[in-house]
Chain A
Amino acid sequence: MSGALELEVGQVVAERTYAISRDTLVRYAGASGDFNPIHYRDDVAASVGLPGVLAHGMLTMGFAVQPVVDWLDARGWVSDYQVRFTRPIVVDPVDGATVTVVATVGAVDETGGRIDLTVSVDGQTVLGKAQVRVTAL
């Protein structure tokens, strides 16, 4: 254990499951201004060869970091955050989709550390290289 945030490499700092629905996608479209219809219209998604309506990648990136923000509370802040979008999340009109986030300490230094996110749907990861730099306040 070291540094201002008392992190230990390998420590799981947060784990959470999010149930997202078409409502979640519509709300994100409105708040973000990303009105690409593949995120709310089945016919448009099908016409471009997609398996269904997809969650916005930026929505997934957006909520995947929240368990880290909540765990940090006011002790620190997210100073760098990156992801690769490796697998789209299909959101069923009735059942939605269930996304699991596990946040693990990857590295520690004097001012904070790196938290690695494992974000998955049905056991398959949907984001790659999802890394959060946290810095003590």
Chain B
Amino acid sequence: MPVNPALTERAFAPVAPYLVGREKVREFARAVLATAALHHDPEAARAAGFADVVAPPTFPIVVAEATLQQLLAEPDAGIDFSRVVHGDQRFSYSRPIVAGDELTATLRVTSIKTLGGNSMITSETSMVDADGAHVVTSVSTLVVRGEDA
């Protein structure tokens, strides 16, 4: 089943807010070999002008997980996850994420292309804080390998 091109016109509801915890930031930082004090030490973060420990640059992928599940759960999406490869990834920030942020993520599928039997799905997950102000947008392209690819 090919990827459904109508996904680009679909409106997805925002997912439940994600509360960024200090220990989660530290755990994720350890996992990506991030040793800078800003990720681990609240005092160092405050000295640099942040309210609490700062999340590493790729942390929004954790928050975007719920929107990925939302996409895969669409019954007519036509996405076989066992054939999915991550093609590219971008994070565009308005401000850094810090522990204590409550982020609400909303998914939008921006393009679906077919090339040589493979489908490429580009989606944007926009994350806003508790005041509704933009924090970061995660843009991902997933490649769904065709049956013959």
Q: Residues of A at under 8 Å CB distance from B?
A: 18, 24, 27-28, 30-34, 48, 57-59, 61-63, 65-66, 69-70, 73-74, 77-85, 129, 132, 137
Closest 8 CB pairs of A and B: A62-B32, A31-B31, A82-B90, A74-B48, A63-B33, A62-B58, A78-B57, A84-B88
Q: Is the CB of B47 within 8 A of A85?
A: no
CA distance A66 to B86 in the complex (A): 21
20 A-B residue pairs with Cβ-Cβ distance under 8 Å, sorted by A, are A18-B33, A32-B65, A34-B65, A59-B32, A61-B58, A63-B32, A63-B33, A65-B57, A66-B34, A70-B36, A74-B47, A74-B48, A77-B54, A78-B57, A80-B92, A81-B90, A82-B89, A82-B90, A85-B86, A137-B49
| B65 contact set on A, CB distance < 8 A | 32-34
Known contacts A66-B34, A137-B48; A58/B89 CB under 8 A: yes
Judge if B35 is at the interface, Cβ distance under 8 Å. yes
**Cβ contact within 8 Å between A81 and B91:** yes
